[in-house]
Amino acid sequence: MSAKRETILSGIRPTGRLHYGNYFGAVRHFLRLQEEDRATCYYFIADYHALTTVTDRQDLYGNTLEMLRTYVACGLDPRKSVIYRQSDLPCTAELSLLLGMITNIGLLERGTTYKDKLSKLREDPKAEGNPLSYGLLGYPVLMAADILIVKADIVPVGEDQRQHLEMAIDLATRFNSRFGETFHVPRPISRDALRLPGLDGAAKMGKSDHNTLDLLDDPATVLKKIKAVPTTTEPAPLDTDSTDADTVIPKMPAGVGVLYRLLDLLAPREVFLEFLEEYRKGGKFYGNLKKAAAEHCSKFNDPIIARYNDPANSAAAVEEFLRENARRVTPVALETVEAVRAAMGIGHSLYRA
- Report, in Å, the least distance between residue 73 CB and ligand ATP: 16
C-beta nearest to ligand ATP: residue: 25
End-to-end CA distance of the chain: 30
Catalytic residues: 117, 204, 207
Phi, psi of 118 (to 5 degrees): -60, -45
Residue with Cβ nearer ligand ATP (199 or 289): 199
Residue with Cβ nearer ligand ATP (162 or 207): 207
| Cα separation, 22 vs 6, whole angstroms | 25
Residue with Cβ nearer ligand ATP (135 or 158): 158
- Report, in Å, the least distance between residue 158 CB and ligand ATP: 4
Q: At what angle do helices 139-149 and 159-179 cross, to 10 degrees?
A: 70
The answer to whether the beta carbons of residues 250 and 55 sit under 8 Å apart is no
Cβ-count burial 38-52 (b if 16+ within 10 Å, e if not) = ebbbbbbbbbbbbeb
- Report, in Å, the least distance between residue 113 CB and ligand ATP: 10
- Report, in Å, the least distance between residue 177 CB and ligand ATP: 31
Q: At what angle do helices 269-281 and 254-266 cross, to 10 degrees?
A: 150
Q: Where are the beta strands (DSSP E) in 173-268?
A: 187-190
Residue with Cβ nearer ligand ATP (194 or 332): 194
Candidates 97, 159, 176, 90; CA nearest to 352 is 90
Candidates 337, 9, 332; CA nearest to 161 is 9
Residue with Cβ nearer ligand ATP (205 or 340): 205
Residue with Cβ nearer ligand ATP (198 or 235): 198
The answer to whether the beta carbons of residues 152 and 99 sit under 8 Å apart is no
| Cα separation, 312 vs 318, whole angstroms | 9
- Report, in Å, the least distance between residue 193 CB and ligand ATP: 9
Which residues of this chain interact with ligand ATP, rule CB under 6 A? 13, 15, 21-22, 25-26, 158, 160, 194-196, 204-208
The answer to whether the beta carbons of residues 179 and 148 sit under 8 Å apart is no
- Report, in Å, the least distance between residue 199 CB and ligand ATP: 11
